[in-house]
Structure 1
Amino acid sequence: MNPDADYVELKNGEVYTHGTEWIEEKSLTKAKKITTVEKGMASDLPAGTILYESEEIPAILIAEYEEIEKRYHLAMGE
């Protein structure tokens, strides 16, 4: 409930957050495409950002837009 949090919420209710240092240190590979961010789904990602599941750790999403890559980890779900 932090107003400065960088998060993305999927349609199934799962919430992923950005900013965990150990995730950035991992060597991760993009696996299957999960979805494309729509307006209102994410706090800091623009609409059109593609979200991929990580091959090595499925609870980590890799967001890709404008040659920028950000990683998000599962924070909670339904």
Structure 2
Amino acid sequence: MNIKERIKKELEIQKSIEGEKCQEEILLKFLEAIKTKMQWELFVNCEFHRYGKNSYESHRFYYPKEELINIVKAFS
């Protein structure tokens, strides 16, 4: 599985838990537009939310940084 597919799957999990709060639409559009992982890391915050007892049992939740939101607003 490539990184973009993994992120899409993680966004689906995040949306099922948080609902529309996760800003999935912005993140998916940005994901399709970028070429490198560094671009993703520059504009998106990643938080880990545990769901199990073990340290590796966690979901990645993604949130757009303020800069990405401002870029999207500028081109809307």
* TM above 0.5: no
TM-score by length of 1: 0.30
More helix by share: 2
Specify the structure having the higher radius of gyration (Cα).
2
